[in-house]
Chains A and B, each alone.
Chain A
Amino acid sequence: MNYLDFEKPLSEIEGKAEELRALARTTSGMDVSKEAEALDRKAETALRDLYKNLTAWQKCQVARHPDRPHCKDYIDGLFTEYTTLAGDRAFADDHSVMGGLARFNDRPVMVIGHEKGNDTKSRIERNFGMARPEGYRKAIRLMDLADRFRLPVITLVDTPGAYPGKGAEERGQAEAIARSTEKCLSLGVPLISVVIGEGGSGGAVAFATANRVAMLEHSIYSVISPEGCASILWKDAEKMREAAEALRLTAQDLAKLGIIDKIVPEPVGGAQRAPKDAIEAVGKAIESLLGELSGKSRAELLADRRRKYLEMGSKGLAA
């Protein structure tokens, strides 16, 4: 278990319980179950208390937690017959974006998402979830395919942002993001997006311009990283806590601002503590959001999405 800095009190309690049990295993006739269970209960309370009122910055840390389930875990857990489709047909296959045909509750769909990887090797291969132009162009191609065969599109968003590289710029990073957003807005099929970790700026918008957008309880979605914002506006990257607060990047704030449609509850202690439960909860959310859109015609789905974005920010804002 990787502990975050604010989880230190918890790590101490859990560490003690672990030590106690280890001691009992090597010492015959020693019964520590009562003490260990008491510590477990204490840890549980501490965990609950910690996660009840996470600050915006703490949520950023949880959203980026290395043990959090990633796109691949959700695809494995929620879809059957997943069949990867690769490449942008122009330059390369971007491994930071995965996608393909799959069945969700037996229904054929197109699923696309950012994948960060979960160890050094896969993280490098996935470029830490930072897409290059080819990633967006692959997504555009898959969305187009889904549209022609009337398959709903489900996107899973988890990216620090677009990759700031020389080649990425030369090959039209900005154009690729703009076209992907445009494609999202042109689909005549349901488009549902779930922010499962980090929704990093334009790289997230390119996938998440959807009929319905859900966010996991401790995920974030922001115009800029708190560190980046702090270094520009506070002239000090260490002011990321203040920046995270000011940016209103939590699921709870974004629901209030009318930017997202649904918050998916996470297990106590975050998705990283019980990935299976988190994956199941996301599945339920996708099912219910797809249900909301069932029976809508192509024209209605297009108009629904367009209206949503045109009206965004014009109502429901408490000044």
Chain B
Amino acid sequence: MNWITNYVRPKINSLFSRREVPENLWTKCPECGTMLFHRELAANLNVCSACDHHMTMGARERMMSLFDGGIFSEIKVPDPVVDPLGFRDQKKYSDRMKAAQKASGAKDAMLVAEGEIARTPVVAAVQDFSFMAGSMGMYVGNAIIAAAEHAVKTKKPLVLFSASGGARMQEGMLSLMQMPRTTVAVQLLKEAGLPYIMVLTHPTTGGVTASYAMLGDIQIAEPNAQIGFAGARVIEQTIREKLPEGFQRAEYLLDHGMLDRVVHRKNLREELATMIRMLMSLPPPIKGDLAPPPPPPEPEVLPTPAESEG
């Protein structure tokens, strides 16, 4: 494969970022409290160097860390009807959306792109927890359908990274209907005989877990990621007892048979390439094919408080 044409052809996303560098260059690890310098944190793929906690990653940063040379081209997602219910709680949904779009520079909580992992062509969809808690509305549904359709058209596997508080309540039943819609997307991949690899990242809960996030051919999770359907607080209130240590965490789910693997972020690219190539009957990746780590992305903006279904 020609490295140069591969390098030049896709839109180069990694050179520009709409985000400005926040004044605070230090991030506090939510797990162990260590103050981490943003450059070091980015170079470490947003993993705390003190305690190995995997912090949430923006969709663009994830794509850059995933693909060879940090290069990928975006796949267009059809725009849904905006604010179909005219929803208003203490704020208007349309205002919440505008604020989230302005803060992130993204349209909604999912980004779809294609590129190569160790020279293995892959379509990837990444859910962004920083955008309204990664909640699943019509846009996210459209994104997953677009990703699956593109994968089928180009005969590529789909790797999907979930991070979500669940369905987006402000779209009412139209958000709940993304459960069957995204399930149809998964069926399209399965019928085409293409691998569908799920990577569950912190946190993945609610209707997202109860649809596409649990239907992967291979179920991978990042260490210590919170994964579940009902919220831990709701469960504690219902059963009136304390939940065990590590409940609803990746390792706990692995122990209970709900996952295939828990994979450290630094090993993810290599593992994905290895498994995908076996599933697609391709020769093993040549070690040299793995491109050097991508340039460090801009500092991560901390996620907004949860805005989605429990």
Please tell me if B302 contacts chain A, counting CB pairs below 8 Å. no
| B-side contacts of A312, CB under 8 Å | 174, 177, 181
A174: which of B89, B187, B228 is its contact (CB, 8 Å)? B228
B81: which of A168, A177, A306, A317 is its contact (CB, 8 Å)? A317
| B-side contacts of A247, CB under 8 Å | 85, 169, 172-173
| A-side contacts of B180, CB under 8 Å | 181, 184-185, 205, 209, 309
A169: which of B138, B174, B230, B306 is its contact (CB, 8 Å)? B230
Q: Is the CB of B84 within 8 A of A257?
A: yes
| A-side contacts of B310, CB under 8 Å | 224, 228, 232
Please tell me if A187 contacts chain B, counting CB pairs below 8 Å. no
Please tell me if B75 contacts chain A, counting CB pairs below 8 Å. no
Complex interface bits, A197-211 against B, C-beta within 8 A gives 1, otherwise 0: 000011001100100
A186: which of B179, B187, B213 is its contact (CB, 8 Å)? B187
Q: Is the CB of A314 within 8 A of B238?
A: no
A201: which of B80, B141, B207, B307 is its contact (CB, 8 Å)? B207
Q: Is the CB of B210 within 8 A of A178?
A: yes
| B-side contacts of A201, CB under 8 Å | 167, 176, 207, 309
Please tell me if A41 contacts chain B, counting CB pairs below 8 Å. no
Q: B187 — nearest CB in chain A belongs to which residue?
A: A185
Question: B16: shortest Cβ distance to chain A, in Å?
Answer: 32
Q: B177 — nearest CB in chain A belongs to which residue?
A: A312
Q: Is the CB of A182 within 8 A of B186?
A: yes
The stretch among A80-88, A158-166, A290-298 that forms the contact with chain B is A158-166
Please tell me if A248 contacts chain B, counting CB pairs below 8 Å. yes
Q: Is the CB of A164 within 8 A of B169?
A: no
How many residues of chain B get a CB closer than 8 Å to chain A's CBs?
Answer: 61
Please tell me if A30 contacts chain B, counting CB pairs below 8 Å. no
Please tell me if A175 contacts chain B, counting CB pairs below 8 Å. yes
Please tell me if A299 contacts chain B, counting CB pairs below 8 Å. no
Q: Is the CB of B176 within 8 A of A223?
A: yes
Please tell me if A222 contacts chain B, counting CB pairs below 8 Å. yes
Task: Please report the C-alpha to C-alpha distance between residue A162 and residue B231 in the assembled complex, in whole angstroms.
Answer: 12
Question: A89: shortest Cβ distance to chain B, in Å?
Answer: 16
Task: Please report the C-alpha to C-alpha distance between residue A223 and residue B167 in the assembled complex, in whole angstroms.
Answer: 7
Known: A181-B179, A182-B186, A184-B180. A174 touches B213 (CB 8 A): yes
Q: B248 — nearest CB in chain A belongs to which residue?
A: A169
Please tell me if A54 contacts chain B, counting CB pairs below 8 Å. no
Cβ-closest 3 pairs across A and B: A164-B230, A174-B209, A233-B89
- Given A177-B210, A181-B210, A246-B87; 18 other pairs, CB 8 A cutoff: A165-B230, A169-B228, A169-B247, A177-B211, A181-B211, A182-B183, A202-B206, A202-B211, A205-B180, A223-B167, A224-B169, A233-B89, A247-B172, A249-B172, A306-B184, A309-B177, A313-B138, A319-B83
Can you name 30 A-B pairs with beta carbons within 8 Å? A162-B210, A165-B230, A165-B239, A169-B228, A169-B247, A173-B210, A174-B228, A175-B210, A175-B214, A177-B179, A177-B210, A178-B211, A178-B214, A179-B215, A181-B179, A186-B187, A201-B176, A202-B179, A202-B207, A202-B210, A205-B179, A223-B309, A233-B89, A233-B169, A257-B84, A257-B174, A259-B173, A309-B177, A313-B84, A319-B82
